[in-house]
Structure 1
Amino acid sequence: MENTLQILNGDDTLKGFNDTGLDGDVIVWREVLSEGPVTKTIDSEFWKMRTEWVSKTFTTTPEHYLEHMVGQLEKFNYPYEEINLWFEFDLHCQVNMLAAMQLIEQQFDLSNRAIYLISPDSYPGLDDFRGMGQLNGEQLEYLFDGRLRLTDYDFRLAEEAWSLYVRGNVNDLQNWIDTNPFWGSLHQLKAAMQAHVKRLTVNADGHNYIEQKLLAIKQSGIVERADIYEQFWSAEKIYGMGDRELDIYLERLDKDF
């Protein structure tokens, strides 16, 4: 066992990470907690609920999800001295980050652990940065050199954000965003939570912001799924949604029309 744990948000980042010279055990966070049911308490019932939803919603089995996501969480029982969180700027990544921080706080004594965050929203010389999956090992090491050490304040802020995210009350969340005086080292959290406020808000037709954007794309004459994805990604990187997540919304719209 290593003294360091690296928590990577997805397999795309793992590809580049494997080419770095960075040490440590690795957890690949293969989840999309920005979609589907969540609860404030992250325990065995939480993962049972997620197993059922993920296997029902996506083309996977409960066994695959348990092995490739939940099974990795046994590493939270090991006494790592350093933990590095690799999560990007978008809503998808930030919600996953919040959950990972809840687990870290549950499992570790933070007073004698060094917890760091790598959370870029851009990369020098890369005009259309969408995530760390675009980067090679050398570029990821560059980001690692600029990592931020998380404080007790950051963990309190993450706990508040997670609770509000789970509650899903748009007014409470907006008020928290507007009145929070300091975002600590969680530099990308405010923009991601503001994007979630937009997603929670529905128009007179009952469509939220994402559904409205997808409808506008389709009504512009774009009908192929791959083209719809690309158009949405170009305009709304803040949501960090993959094609399978967008399909949830597109299928919902198809039922309405």
Structure 2
Amino acid sequence: MSSSILHITNGDSTTNYLKKLHFSGDFITWREMLCEGKTTTDVGSETFWKNRFSFLKSSYNISKKKFINYTLKEYRNLCNKKETKEIVLWFEHDLFCQINMIAVISWLKKYRKGYHISLVCSGKIKGSKKLKGLSELTENQIHQHYKNRVDLTQDDIEYADYIWELYCSDSPLRLEAVYKFNPMSPFQYLAAAIEAHLLRFPSIKNGLNSIENTILETANTHQLSSKDELVHKLLKNQTTYGFGDIQYEHQIEQLQKLFTSFNPVKLSRKGKKVLENQMNFYSELRDENSYLGGAKKYSFLFNNQSEKLLQITS
């Protein structure tokens, strides 16, 4: 007998929490990090997964076996669950989750047309200044979120799919032009996530993006005894990105020429000059194979004064 509800969650911690609270239905965990590396619009296609594996292998040394067991098997489970007519999406406010969310909705638009799709999205909690993840919610809060889940209309699904299409395009300029202009959207955290995404293109001032500048700033203003301590501080202070430790470790690795030591953490003279915008590190970081969505990261610069992106024409 088929289950009446299919829950698609943002990660194993959410899936395990919902199971622990005895939520009824089947569960699929979306195990991807589509906010990093090259993405194409055709979620689930052979080309899509080839691109994803290529990125994960080169950037994070993920083996084919792990990719198949961890991500592809769960995706195939999703493909096989066709009988359930109600699908509940569980995602969070940050960039990591919001990009995964619109990709899943794009897939559902194509392969689950006419299904009843609803969304539970955590973030703002009454009485808390901090935005919260799903696994940080109390039992009462998570039940309340579920009760207040938003039914997605066809227009909502089309909008999420459109933003996904723009995210995957070879230029972020159209995305920059439209992402703010849908005040009626039920995706209340999507605009902030896209704004954070656009800040990941290198700054015209010093060639580093917002995250890379934050790494240098954190290293320079705190006395940190190790790289682990630096990562911990970055994780604790982040608000919009939703990154894990391996993502910050990868980012720090790209910047290692700007450090003299990680034990304790110390910036080099060059690192301090870059941080103070006295030197531009763009040419040393530039990598033709580095993508943010469908766009080459180093083909665009963020102008801090106009707060707009500029395309580099070669």
Do they fold alike, i.e. is TM over 0.5?
yes
Deviations 1:221-245 (A, max 9, x none): 4442333233323433211011111
Q: 1:122 aligns with which of 100, 121, 124?
A: 124
SS of 1:186's equivalent in the other structure is: coil
Whole-angstrom distance in 2 between the partners of 1:159 and 1:53: 23
Whole-angstrom distance in 1 between the partners of 2:193 and 2:256: 27
2:283 equivalent in structure 1: none
2:200 equivalent in structure 1: 199
Whether 2:70 is the aligned partner of 1:71: answer no
1:7 equivalent in structure 2: 8
Compute the displacement of 1:135 (Å). Answer: 3.1
1:239 equivalent in structure 2: 241
Whether 2:34 is the aligned partner of 1:38: answer no
Compute the displacement of 1:138 (Å). Answer: 4.4
Is the 2:231–2:249 contact (alpha carbons within 8 Å) kept by the matching residues of 1? Answer: no
1:105 equivalent in structure 2: 109
**Farther off after superposition, 84-93 or 131-140:** 131-140
Whole-angstrom distance in 2 between the partners of 1:255 and 1:142: 48
Compute the displacement of 1:121 (Å). Answer: 0.8
2:279 equivalent in structure 1: none
Compute the displacement of 1:65 (Å). Answer: 1.8
Quickly say closer, same or farther: Cα 1:168–1:190, change in 2 above 3 A: farther
SS of 1:83's equivalent in the other structure is: strand
TM-score (norm 1): 0.90
Residue identity in the other structure for 1:108: R
1:22 equivalent in structure 2: 23
**Farther off after superposition, 192-201 or 24-33:** 192-201
Whole-angstrom distance in 1 between the partners of 2:73 and 2:183: 35
Q: 2:158 aligns with which of 156, 159, 169?
A: 156
Paired positions, count:
254
Whole-angstrom distance in 2 between the partners of 1:151 and 1:25: 23
Whole-angstrom distance in 2 between the partners of 1:222 and 1:168: 40
1:57 equivalent in structure 2: 59
Unaligned residue ranges in structure 2 (runs of 5+):
260-314
Whether 2:184 is the aligned partner of 1:174: answer no
Q: Which has the higher strand share?
A: 2
1:84 equivalent in structure 2: 88
Quickly say closer, same or farther: Cα 1:239–1:6, change in 2 above 3 A: same
Is the 1:17–1:136 contact (alpha carbons within 8 Å) kept by the matching residues of 2? Answer: no
Q: Which has the higher helix share?
A: 1
1:187 equivalent in structure 2: 188
Residue identity in the other structure for 2:73: G
Whether 2:219 is the aligned partner of 1:215: answer no
Whole-angstrom distance in 2 between the partners of 1:12 and 1:181: 31
Whole-angstrom distance in 2 between the partners of 1:58 and 1:142: 37
Whether 2:232 is the aligned partner of 1:230: answer yes
Structure index of larger Rg: 2
Quickly say closer, same or farther: Cα 1:222–1:244, change in 2 above 3 A: farther
- RMSD of equivalent CA atoms: 2.1
Is the 2:125–2:132 contact (alpha carbons within 8 Å) kept by the matching residues of 1? Answer: no
SS of 1:239's equivalent in the other structure is: coil
Compute the displacement of 1:5 (Å). Answer: 1.0
TM-score (norm 2): 0.74
Residue identity in the other structure for 2:253: E
Compute the displacement of 1:199 (Å). Answer: 1.5
Deviations 1:50-105 (A, max 9, x none): 12322343354212221221212232342221001001000000000011111111
Percent identity between matched residues is: 27
Whole-angstrom distance in 2 between the partners of 1:27 and 1:136: 22
Residue identity in the other structure for 2:217: A
